[in-house]
Amino acid sequence: MLRIDQIRLLPGDSEELLRGKCAKLLRVPAGDVTSCTVLRKAIDAREGLTFVYTAAVAVRNEAQVLRRCRDRRVTPYAPEVYRLPSPVSPPETRPIVVGAGPAGLFAALVLAKCGARPILLERGQPVEQRQADVERFWHGGALDTESNVQFGEGGAGAFSDGKLNTGTKDVRHQFIMETLVRCGAPDAILTDAKPHVGTDKLHIALRELRRELTVGGADIRFGARLEGVTVEGGAVHAVTVRQHGQVYTLPAGQVVLSLGHSARDTFEMLHGAGLCMEQKPFAMGVRIEHRQAAIDGAQYRALAGHPSLPPSTYKLSCHLGSGHSAFSFCVCPGGQVVAAASEAGRTVTNGMSEYARDRENINGALLVNVTPEDFPSPHPLAGIQLQRQAEEAAFALTGGYNAPCQRVEDFLAGRPSAGHGTVRPSYRPGVVYTDLHRCLPPFIAETLSLALPVLGEKLRGYDDPDALLTGVETRSSSPVRLVRDERYEANIRGIYPCGEGAGYAGGILSAAADGMRCAEKLLEVYR
């Protein structure tokens, strides 16, 4: 097989043209190309909009063709395939996985496929019940502090855009995406340069992945919160679980901690138990919302609205003289801003999109980097304190879970907004127009004020006067890292911290891969 990069097609061109373009580039008749498989598809809008493909091609007389071809875009192709660790005998004391987000689910999947029969504890609910609980909250009902956007099957990513792009390369990524497709995610995630599953499709995949885990011997327990750990001789000996109002103990020799970035009470419990943790940089800010058509026009220009083009997205950043940076994160084309609280009396925002990305607005986090120097104390959990202060201030500003909201023009002028302009807010349960300076830490508000005009120069209309800022966005990543060694173990032997909550990942794909790595290390104990 040969790999061919940088094959360009125009909007409206059929992918059937790829085979002919590959043949021309290889200088062979089209009939000599026996197969042509798309590996990657991206959009290049820099100079004349084109689709850019990478393809795997089978051609007759491959060695001869490769010797003759002088184009650097053509290279031999031998894809690396992930191999599961060798099976183990079912251990007498079953391994425990805490948390059913991406890291926990894929850690449990590796353990189950290798015969280890894990117990998976999730404090929240299965995705079907979780969706009902979340929808009720979004429509003005009470917040369920155990079943919400942060807690439950699928983790925080279950109510997001379902993005699977990452800046790292790992053979596990293909395994993860193929697993999701097998469980009902769209086939396109295997080739899109910026793959996304969408909230609606991700929920389907989660249900099927649960079935696959159960068939593989996993014992999945919902509504089961980790309440404590028992340590003997520097190693984990047992865990205490609260489930359906009952408290019980499970023997434990190996525990994967895939807690998620919002398990604040669990972090506090583990710190009290002596688990080593440290402060970690993270980011805070707001959600910014524009009309999707306006961003499409800025990105696609004359081709905006072309039926072959997806809703556009963006990635922006700027470094400021103040010592802080601002950047976009978790951009949700054709999506909505949602309430993402997990603690009573604290307002949190997030963004999500369904697979079609067909709503009126595009939203994204607009964040400022927060370093330990910005934390209120040297305590390992001081970053959580800073998050809570902003969330409590946002809640107090509106008198509830309606989010504080402000037009960009008013934010830059330092005055409260009286209402929206051309951009209508999508946040549920609703917004209160006010001044976000009253709930944001001063250094974050100042940095955002400096950044918005700069980012508007990079993307036309980003600082549009009517663009809406909704606060506060505090849960972009974990403000704490659970320390682990080269064996992926914590200072308490037998505990394996992993994923985004432990400070080792930054999204669905990277968290799932980290969970797999922890499972692989854990399995070595049984050999």
pLDDT tens profile 77-122: 998 999 999 999 999 999 999 999 999 999 999 999 999 999 999 9
C-alpha span between 158 and 153 (Å, rounded): 8
Are both 254 and 332 inside the same structural domain? no
Are 259 and 352 part of one and the same domain?
Answer: no
Q: Give me the mean pLDDT over the 117-146 stretch.
A: 97
Same domain, 235 and 381: no
Domain end position, chosen among 428, 457, 473: 473
Dist CA 254 CA 396 (whole Å): 42
Tokens of 418: 């009286």
- Which residue type, as a one-letter code, is found at position 22? C
Cα gap 375→365, rounded to integer Å: 21
What is the arithmetic mean of pLDDT over 369-394? 97
Q: Please check whether residue 84 lies inside any domain of the structure.
A: no
- What confidence score (pLDDT) does residue 4 get? 96
In eight-state DSSP terms, residue 146 is T
Torsion angles phi and psi, residue 134, rounded to 5:
-65, -45
- 356: in domain: yes
Would you state the pLDDT for residue 45?
A: 85
- Same structural domain, 314 and 238: no
Per DSSP, helices labelled H in 78-223 are 102-113, 127-138, 171-182, 199-215
Residue 295 has pLDDT above 90, yes or no: yes
pLDDT (average), residues 235-261: 97
Per-residue confidence (pLDDT) for residue 22, from 0 to 100: 94
Range of the domain at 212: 96-278+481-526
Q: What angle do CA 419, 423, 427 make, to 5 degrees?
A: 80
Biggest distance spanned by C-alpha atoms of the chain: 73
The total number of structural domains in the chain stands at 3
- Who's near 16: CB < 8 A, 6+ residues apart? none
- CATH number of the domain that 33 lies in? 3.30.70.2700
Q: What percent of the chain has pLDDT over 90?
A: 95
Same domain, 323 and 430: yes
Angle of helix 102-113 relative to helix 199-215, nearest 10 degrees, comes to: 30
Residues 159, 233 within the same domain: yes
**CA distance to 6, 62, 167, 317, 411, per residue, from 327 (Å):** 28, 45, 16, 4, 17
Structural domain includes residue 91: no
Whether 133 and 250 map to the same domain: the answer is yes
Give Cβ neighbours of residue 17 (< 8 Å, ≥ 6 apart): 9
Q: What Cα–Cα distance (Å) separates residue 12 from each residue in 105, 118, 308? A: 39, 49, 6
* pLDDT value at 168 more than 90: no
pLDDT, position 182: 97
Q: Please, which residues have CB within 8 angstroms of residue 232's CB and are 6 or more apart in sequence?
A: none
In-domain check, residue 243: yes
Q: Examine residue 58 and state whether it is found in any structural domain, yes or no.
A: yes
What is the full DSSP assignment across 1-24? Answer: -EEEEEEEE-TT--TTHHHHHHHH
- Assess whether pLDDT exceeds 80 at residue 406: yes
Same domain, 336 and 353: yes
Parallel, antiparallel, or unpaired for β 495-497 and 255-257?
A: parallel
Of 23, 45, 76, at which residue does a domain stop?
Answer: 76
Rg (CA), the chain: 24
Dist CA 512 CA 107 (whole Å): 7
On whether both 451 and 506 belong to a single domain, the answer is no
The pLDDT value given to residue 13: 93
Whether 426 is covered by a domain: the verdict is: yes
Backbone torsions φ then ψ of 509, nearest 5 degrees: -70, -45
**For 60-64, 252-256, 483-487, which range has the lowest pLDDT when averaged over its residues?**
60-64
pLDDT band at 167 (very low <50, low <70, confident <90, very high): confident
Same domain, 419 and 325: yes
Residue 322 has pLDDT above 90, yes or no: no
The span from the CA of 443 to the CA of 34, in Å, is: 59
pLDDT in tens, 120-130: 999 999 999 99
Q: Which of 30, 47, 76 is the last residue of a domain?
A: 76
Domain assignment present for 400: yes
* Domain CATH number, residue 133: 3.50.50.60
Q: Which of 279, 261, 276 is nearest to 372 (CA)?
A: 279
Q: What are the residue ranges of helices labelled H in 358-441?
A: 382-398, 408-413
One DSSP character per residue, 207-256 reads HHHHHHHHHTT-EEEETEEEEEEEEETTEEEEEEEEETTEEEEEE-S-EE
For residues 14 and 18, what is the distance between their CA atoms, to the nearest angstrom?
8
Which of these, 249, 256, 243, 246, lies nearest to 228 by C-alpha position?
A: 249
Mean pLDDT, rounded, for 495-503 = 97
Cα–Cα distance between 397 and 368 in angstroms, integer? 21
Cα–Cα distance between 453 and 466 in angstroms, integer? 14
Computed over every residue of the chain, the mean pLDDT equals 96
Q: Is the confidence at residue 373, as pLDDT, over 90?
A: yes
Which pLDDT tens digit goes with each residue over 418-463? 999 999 999 999 999 999 999 999 999 999 999 999 999 999 999 9
Cβ atoms 331, 363 nearer than 8 A = yes
- For residue 323, the model assigns a pLDDT of 84
Residues 303, 297 contacting (CB under 8 angstroms) = no
CA 440 from centre of chain: 24
Predicted confidence (pLDDT) at residue 246 exceeds the cutoff of 90: yes
Q: Would you say the C-alpha torsion 393, 499, 210, 203 has a positive or negative sign?
A: positive
Residue 47 confidence (pLDDT): 75
Percent of the chain with pLDDT over 70: 100
pLDDT category of residue 52 using cuts at 50, 70 and 90:
very high
Residues 132, 40 within the same domain: no
- How far apart CA 13 and CA 194 sit, in angstroms, is 20
Burial class (CB in 10 A: 0-12, 13-18, 19+), 460: middle
- The neighbouring-strand residues paired with 3 are 56, 75
What pLDDT shows up at residue 341?
98
Q: 46 pLDDT exceeds 90?
A: no
Task: Determine how β-strand 74-76 pairs with β-strand 2-9.
Answer: antiparallel
Is the residue at 42 inside a domain? yes
C-alpha closest to that of 522 among 499, 489, 481, 486:
489
For residues 517 and 488, the answer to whether their CB atoms sit within 8 Å is yes
Over residues 9-23, mean pLDDT: 92
Nearest to 413 by CA among 395, 397, 391, 437: 437
pLDDT, mean of residues 194-205? 96
Q: Is residue 380 domain-shared with residue 321, that is, in the same domain?
A: yes
